[in-house]
Structure 1
Amino acid sequence: MSVAEPRRIVLFRHAKADWPQVPDHERPLAERGRMDAAEAGRRLADSGLAIDLALCSTAVRTRETWKLAVQEFPHRPKTVYEERIYEASPGELIAVLNETPDEVREVLLIGHNPGVQGLADILAGATAGEVRERMAGRGFPAAAFAVLSFTGDWKAVEPGVATLQDYWAPAD
């Protein structure tokens, strides 16, 4: 693959979690979260994205979100469960993305706020327009996702490098 071909990053926040008396890492999805995860999966599948690699936090709620969302995809991408995504800052998430193999064109990262929202804002840089306004107005609620594109290799992912192409949240 040429580094001149556009690459895409899908930043996907886990769906709505329940609050049982368990450690935060072990929190499962709430019933609404299960429905929203499947709907997000349908939206992603309908978008025409061809995800090559999914990077998923090891938290129960992110793994459950991915399991429900990926059922809607025409093909299941390779999935890597990455503990560094749990409670990661935008900079830590960039470091994970920088390790993506060069042959990968489209990555989906399933994580948590505030890291995922912060990363979407940082990568999108000066992107303007209706999609950016919608994301700014809605924030990054549970089960929301943003699609960003950039040109270059994965080691070049840094603040301002991408263009925000799409954004969806369950209330849209």
Structure 2
Amino acid sequence: MHSETYSTQYRDACLALFDSNVGKYFAPSERADFIEFLDNQAAQGHYLVFIESGKVVACGGVAASDDSEDATKPAHSAFCWGMVRHDLHGKGLGSELTQQRLDLVVKLGLPSQVRMETSQHTEGFYARFGFEAVEREKDGFAPGIDKVVMTMELANH
């Protein structure tokens, strides 16, 4: 398995990854937001695709915060749209994707506080890396999918 920077040739494969996780991890209504991200931000940013045997099996990225208008939020890096093909959960791909994204934050010199929005279904997974829940909204993404904001300070790890 290897990772590559996203390009539009991976768009359909990334959408298939998203679709494989709809229900428990993503709401169907989030698909339009993911398409918008792929079409307008992923190729300009630091979005990775993981390829195994010629197939995209995971994707996810990082970005510097764009909260300059909100002085209450410190500068931070953000994890964006991370996912592993549903039938490959539990095989270490998520851990590898998370570690590569953390390494990318350091390599790019992005702010050391990393922030993400995830669900209660993956909160425990990210906690193993040192992320802590700082906000929680029941059904924040969709019924049955809570919105959990998690942060981690890389200087502590």
Structure richer in strand, relative to its length:
2
What's the TM-score, normalizing by structure 2?
0.34
Q: Which one has more relative contact order, counting CA pairs under 8 Å at least 6 apart?
A: 1
